[in-house]
Amino acid sequence: MAEISSNFLYAAFILYLAATFIFGGSIRDSRRDKKDRTFRKWSQTAIAVTLAGFASQAAYFVTRWMASGHAPVSNLFEFTTFFGMMLVLAFIILYFIYKTAILGLFTLPVALLLIAYASMFPRDITPLIPALKSQWLYIHVTTAALGQAILAISFIAGVLYLIKTADHAKPSKKTFWLEFVMFVMVATIGFIIITTVFRAAGYEAEFKWIDKKGAEAQMVYDLPALIGPNKGELLTEGKLHPLFNVPPIFSGRKLNTVVWSIFAGLVLYGLARVILRKSLSRTLQPLTKKLNLDLTDEIGYRSVTIGFPVFTLGALIFAMIWAQAAWTRFWGWDPKEVWALVTWLFYAAYLHLRLSRGWHGEKSAWLAVIGFAIIMFNLIFVNLVIAGLHSYA
């Protein structure tokens, strides 16, 4: 059953990739000929392939649930793939409302990156730890992921708006930060590549270290150790010794992964700039030539108005109820709890600024980009680097 589940996920990945190219074809044809129905046919084909991909990923979710006996959202691989599936679902709903093909051209690659990113983590089906054996696991995690996925659509709309309106004639803060967003996407690809290469090579380095409770433990690195664990001692001969060790509040192995991702991203980004001879955002700008800015702004705003209450229920209200049941307190200032609150406060500020201060257009787009950056910081950095009660993820 586990193998069948993996095949469904692989099929979904292929279908999403195919749909991305078809959405690209629809944009090309819409420029060339507006009189016939070519654009509409390409878009209909693309959304049909997207629906097939979503059905395949839903089948992955169901079959993995059957194989494990619990909802597959209990570790970083399972949660991130579910997050990607909810992102596609949010896009499908908004596509049928607004019929905007370019939204698919930019949303599906983000979903592909999420699935590929998730696949770099252990995919073994393991029993739930005691803290997760609760019906609130399904309620809290799935609702929080859905809320974040809907909010992520506002990020896609924001990036489209900013790419469309960017003036690349001269360098500015706007073009710099827009290009930084492009770099983060490239760094994610770099992480996937570098992890795949060392995993294929069978790289492993074992360390003896001291955890935050003062107990001696062992840790295995899958990437060369630039950063070692607290009081780490390399046990595997012939492997790279770390440049320095980190205190026990951080996970040395996971922080090492983040550093490698940034390094690989810099290399890939540099190569892309050399080949393209211009910034990535400028390269993508022609795709937004026919973009309706008012409609894009509305999509971003509607995504927040729908995603914010869903996120509030899942990440705060349901989370606090579960925390009371599991740990006998509603709030404990755990890093994951803190960043969920930061995310909620930010989107509350977004709605306040939009409704009372009239922050539409470019300002609203930048807020959507920053909000998604907070979500990804919570997903990647807080999960990977900072130790807490949610470290099981």
Least confident of 49-53, 56-60, 352-356, 373-377: 373-377
Rounded to an integer, the average pLDDT of 10-16 is 94
Please measure the distance between the N-terminal and C-terminal CA atoms of the chain and give it in whole angstroms: 23
Q: What is the pLDDT of residue 364?
A: 93
What percent of the chain has a predicted confidence (pLDDT) above 70?
91
How far, CA to CA in Å, does 181 sit from each of 147, 367, 376?
22, 13, 12
pTM above 0.95, yes or no: no
Is the pLDDT at 331 greater than 80? The verdict is no
pLDDT of residue 218: 84
Alpha-carbon distance 97 to 367, whole Å?
A: 23
Query: What's the chain's average pLDDT?
Result: 85
Question: Which residue in 177, 164, 151 sits closest to 300, CA to CA?
Answer: 151
**9 or 251: which leads in pLDDT:** 9
207-241: pLDDT as tens digits: 888 877 778 888 888 889 888 888 888 888 888 88
Are the beta carbons of 268 and 189 closer than 8 angstroms? Answer: yes
- Region class of 331: left (phi > 0), else alpha (psi between -120 and 50), else beta: beta
The string of pLDDT tens digits covering residues 45-78 is: 999 999 999 999 999 999 998 888 878 887 888 8
Q: Is the pLDDT of residue 40 over 80?
A: no
Highest mean pLDDT among 65-74, 115-124, 263-272: 263-272
pLDDT the model gives residue 354: 92
Torsion sign, CA atoms 15, 150, 346, 321: negative
Cβ 280 vs Cβ 179: under 8 Å: yes
Confidence of residue 30 (pLDDT cuts 50, 70, 90): very low
Distances (CA, A) of 132 to 51, 280, 315, 322, 338: 31, 42, 15, 10, 20
Residue 36 has pLDDT above 70, yes or no: no
Is the pLDDT score of 35 beyond 50? no
Three-state SS for 388? coil
User: pLDDT class for 307, splitting at 50, 70, 90?
Assistant: very high
In the chain, where the domains are located: 1-127, 140-168+291-393, 170-277
What pLDDT is attached to residue 90?
Answer: 93
CA angle 40, 43, 48 (to 5 degrees): 125
Identify the pLDDT of residue 220: 85
Of 270, 271, 222, 232, the closest CA to residue 384 belongs to 222
pLDDT value at 254 more than 60: yes
Residue 137 has pLDDT above 80, yes or no: no
| C-beta atoms surrounding 37 within 10 Å | 11
**The predicted structure's pLDDT at residue 47:** 93
Asked if the model's pLDDT at residue 134 lies above 80, the reply is no
Q: Is the pLDDT of residue 393 over 50?
A: no
Range of lowest pLDDT (10-24, 169-183, 317-331): 317-331
